[in-house]
């Protein structure tokens, strides 16, 4: 295998002339469209060695951010694509003598119907991500257990004070958990009224004092982004301690799989 006998694949998309002009990816590498004749499809790629990119956490985060910028730039130009996760490589096949570009083209031809179907389904759509949490102290008012003095000069032993603090924490967790369950059902139902799909995700930011309500990726038509914001604003109104993170719009990373596949967590 030579130094550039593989292709690093960023996305699959309609073959649009000029869509990748001036765009750079990992480590500033220029990306290009590798068109597949007769299909109307192309892959957004750069030439690479047939080995995954490996490095420390900071370096990987930088690469992921660079990949995201490249994909987002091209997505905004063409209106729809299927983004790949980090470190998707197609290598040449020395046994058959096929180059990496030929191997990639053969696979795209085989999957043509599935790829075009997903592109049509995602055209004009974007991904939003929502994380909603409850601050437990705010939900319960931060009140101590009834009859428990707040200072240390109450004549109670340290062990008793620890026990009462533990009881207060358990009460806060229980109260916040019940409210979170009710809010999850209500907010998810309202989001599904304005989003085409909602997929649960792991929380990326949650403190030890917060109870999770909902963490999800939403597939939304561009014209419905503001409607999602309105649902979240309504949910927050009058609810102390409800925290909402609303991110996007992004290319539909969480929805690029085919309908028949299991829904894998995006990188």
The residue out of 58, 88, 122 marking a domain boundary is 122
Please write the tens of the pLDDT for every residue from 69-78: 999 999 999 9
Residues 244, 134 share a domain: yes
Angle (CA) 123 79 188, round 5°:
50
Together in a domain, 133 and 235: yes
- Whether 262 is covered by a domain: the verdict is no
Decide which of 208 and 215 is more confident: 215
Looking at 79-144, list the stretches that DSSP marks H as alpha helix, in order from N- to C-terminal side. 100-110, 112-122, 136-140
User: Which residue has better confidence, 166 or 37?
Assistant: 37
Pairing relationship of beta strands 125-135 and 197-200 according to DSSP bridges: unpaired
* pLDDT at position 160 over 80: no
**Residue where one domain finishes, among candidates 85, 104, 122:** 122
Give the model confidence (pLDDT) of 109-144 as tens digits: 999 999 999 999 999 999 999 999 988 877 766 554
**One domain, residues 107 and 139:** no
Sign of CA dihedral 171, 176, 179, 185: negative
Q: Are residues 30 and 84 in the same domain?
A: yes
Same domain? For 118 and 131 the reply is no
Q: Are residues 12 and 25 in the same domain?
A: yes
Does 266 fall in a domain? no
- Are the CB atoms for 71 and 5 separated by under 8 Å? no
pLDDT score for 141: 64
Q: Are 188 and 236 in contact (CB under 8 A)?
A: no
Q: At a CB cut-off of 8 Å and minimum separation 6, what does 205 contact?
A: 131, 245
Buried (b) or exposed (e) across 158-190, using 16+ Cβ within 10 A?
A: eeeeeebeeebeeebeebbeebbeebbeebbeb
With respect to residue 79, please indicate whether it lies within any of the assigned structural domains.
yes
Tell me 29's DSSP state: P
Answer yes or no: is 143 within a domain.
yes
* Structural domain that includes position 236: 125-255
- The lowest-confidence range among 11-20, 99-108, 168-177, 199-208 is 168-177
Candidates 119, 113, 108, 90; CA nearest to 36 is 108
For residue 179, give both structure tokens: 């409210």
Query: How many Cβ atoms sit within 10 Å of the Cβ of residue 205?
Result: 10
pLDDT > 90 fraction of the chain, expressed in percent and rounded? 67
- Report the domain count for the chain: 2
pLDDT band at 169 (very low <50, low <70, confident <90, very high): low
- Is 193 among the domain residues? yes
Q: Which residue has the tokens 């967790």?
A: 173
Neighbours of 223 (CB within 10 A): 8
Q: Is the pLDDT of residue 1 over 50?
A: no
């Amino acid at each position: 295998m030579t130094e550039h006998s593989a292709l690093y694949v960023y996305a699959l998309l309609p073959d649009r002339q000029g869509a990748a002009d001036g765009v750079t990816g990992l480590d500033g590498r220029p990306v290009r469209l590798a068109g597949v004749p007769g299909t109307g499809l192309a892959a957004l790629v750069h030439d690479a060695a047939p080995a995954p990119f490996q490095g420390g956490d900071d370096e990987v985060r930088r690469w992921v951010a660079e990949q995201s910028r490249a994909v987002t730039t091209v997505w905004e130009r063409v209106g729809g694509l299927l983004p790949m996760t980090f470190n998707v490589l197609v290598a040449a096949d020395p046994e058959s003598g096929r180059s990496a570009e030929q191997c990639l083209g053969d696979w795209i031809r085989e999957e043509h119907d599935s790829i075009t179907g997903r592109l049509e389904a995602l055209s004009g759509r974007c991904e939003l991500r929502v994380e909603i949490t409850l601050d437990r102290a705010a939900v319960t008012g931060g009140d101590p257990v009834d009859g428990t003095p707040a200072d240390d000069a109450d004549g109670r032993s340290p062990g008793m004070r620890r026990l009462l603090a533990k009881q207060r924490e358990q009460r806060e967790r229980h109260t916040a958990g019940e409210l979170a369950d009710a809010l999850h059902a209500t907010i998810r139902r309202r989001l599904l009224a304005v989003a085409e799909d909602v997929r649960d995700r792991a929380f990326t930011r949650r403190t030890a004092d917060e109870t999770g309500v909902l963490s999800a990726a939403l597939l939304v038509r561009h014209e419905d982004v503001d409607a999602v914001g309105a649902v979240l604003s309504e949910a927050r109104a009058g609810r102390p301690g409800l925290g909402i993170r609303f991110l996007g719009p992004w290319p539909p990373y969480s929805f690029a799989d085919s309908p028949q596949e299991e829904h894998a967590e995006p990188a």
